[in-house]
C-alpha cells in the first residue's frame, strides 16, 4: 500500500512516494514553473508549443489549484521534475463532449480554466520524461488524481487523451472507429489502452482538440467516474486526505 497522503498538505509538501517508481510526489508550486515548461516541451515534441503549458500559465495554475497538481522528483531533492499530473476543476456536460482544449479553458472565465465549484476534475496534462517511462509513474499520477476526486467529492475525471497509435490507422478508419476499436481490445494504443486499463471509458473522439499533425489533431475523450461520489452533497473544498488507491 502507498504511504497515506498527509492531511492538510501544502504546495511543495511530499504527499506520496511511489511504491514502484520511488518518485517523491509534491503539490506543485510557482517556483517549479520554468522546469515544468521544459518538461512539457520534452514530453510532447510533435505538439504545437502553443497548446502546452508555459511558465506563466503554470504560475497561475499553481496559484489557483495547487491541490490538483502533482510533480514527481527522483528522490527528496527539488532540482528537476521528472513527471507531473496537472488539472483543474470544471463543470462538464457529458452529453455535449466536443470541445477544443484551449477554447474550453478560455471560455471558463478564469485564467487557468479552474472553477473552484466545478464538479469534475479535468486532467489537463500528464508528462513523464522519456527515460523515466515504463516505471508505473502514469498509474501513480492517476491514483493521486482519483484521490483528489474522492477527497473533494467530485464526480470524476474527464480529459482529452492523446491517441498516438491513430497515426498508423488514420488512412483506413475514422478517429471514432479507432477509439472504439481500442476500447474493444481490437487495437492497442500505448496511451489510450493504458488509460482504459486504469478504469477510464473512452466514449468518443474529439476533433481539433490540440494541434498534432501526426494524428490530424484528434484526441479521445476519457472519463473516470468516482464510485464514492455522493451527488446529494456539494463538492467539498477542505475534506481530509486519504491514501491513493493501491497500484497492482
All three cell numbers of 90: 470544471
pLDDT at residue number 1: 33
| Residues 218, 130 contacting (CB under 8 angstroms) | no
Would you give the DSSP letter of residue 200?
A: -
pLDDT digits (tens, 9 = 90+) for 92-148: 999 999 998 888 888 887 889 999 999 999 999 899 998 898 899 999 999 999 999
Answer with the residue of higher pLDDT: 13 or 63: 63
CB atoms within 10 A of CB 105: 19
Q: How many residues does the chain have?
A: 248
Answer with the residue of higher pLDDT: 229 or 8: 229
Whether 35 shows a pLDDT value over 90: the answer reads yes
* CA 153/CA 158 separation, integer angstroms: 15
* CA 230/CA 216 separation, integer angstroms: 39
Q: What is the pTM of this model?
A: 0.87
Answer with the residue of higher pLDDT: 45 or 21: 21
Going edge to edge, which strands form the sheet with 120-128? 14-17, 24-27, 70-73, 83-90, 120-128, 156-161, 219-225, 201-206
All three cell numbers of 152: 473533494
pLDDT at residue number 241: 37
Average pLDDT over residues 72-83: 85
pLDDT at residue number 4: 42
- What structural domains does the chain harbor? 14-225 (3.40.630.30)
Amino acid at each position: 500500500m502507498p504511504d497515506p497522503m498527509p492531511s492538510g498538505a501544502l504546495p511543495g509538501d511530499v504527499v506520496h512516494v511511489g511504491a514502484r517508481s520511488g518518485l517523491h510526489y509534491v503539490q506543485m508550486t510557482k517556483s517549479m514553473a520554468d522546469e515544468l515548461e521544459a518538461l512539457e516541451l520534452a514530453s510532447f515534441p510533435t505538439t504545437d508549443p502553443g497548446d502546452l503549458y508555459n511558465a506563466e500559465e503554470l504560475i497561475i495554475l499553481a496559484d489557483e489549484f495547487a491541490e490538483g497538481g502533482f510533480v514527481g522528483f527522483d528522490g527528496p531533492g527539488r532540482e528537476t521534475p521528472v513527471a507531473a499530473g496537472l488539472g483543474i476543476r470544471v463543470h462538464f456536460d457529458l452529453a455535449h463532449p466536443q470541445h477544443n482544449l484551449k477554447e474550453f479553458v478560455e471560455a471558463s472565465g478564469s485564467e487557468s480554466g479552474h472553477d473552484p465549484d466545478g464538479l469534475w476534475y479535468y486532467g489537463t496534462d500528464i508528462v513523464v520524461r522519456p527515460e523515466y517511462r515504463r516505471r508505473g509513474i502514469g498509474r501513480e499520477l492517476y491514483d493521486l488524481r482519483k484521490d483528489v476526486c474522492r477527497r473533494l467529492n467530485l464526480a470524476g475525471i474527464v480529459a482529452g487523451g492523446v491517441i498516438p497509435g491513430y497515426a498508423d490507422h488514420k488512412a483506413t478508419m475514422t478517429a471514432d472507429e479507432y477509439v472504439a476499436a481500442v476500447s474493444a481490445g481490437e487495437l492497442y494504443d500505448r496511451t489510450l489502452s493504458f488509460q482504459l486499463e486504469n478504469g477510464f471509458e473512452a466514449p468518443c473522439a474529439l476533433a481539433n482538440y490540440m494541434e498534432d499533425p501526426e494524428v490530424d489533431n484528434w484526441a479521445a475523450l476519457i472519463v473516470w467516474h468516482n464510485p464514492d461520489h455522493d451527488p446529494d452533497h456539494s463538492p467539498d473544498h477542505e475534506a481530509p486526505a486519504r491514501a491513493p488507491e493501491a497500484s497492482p
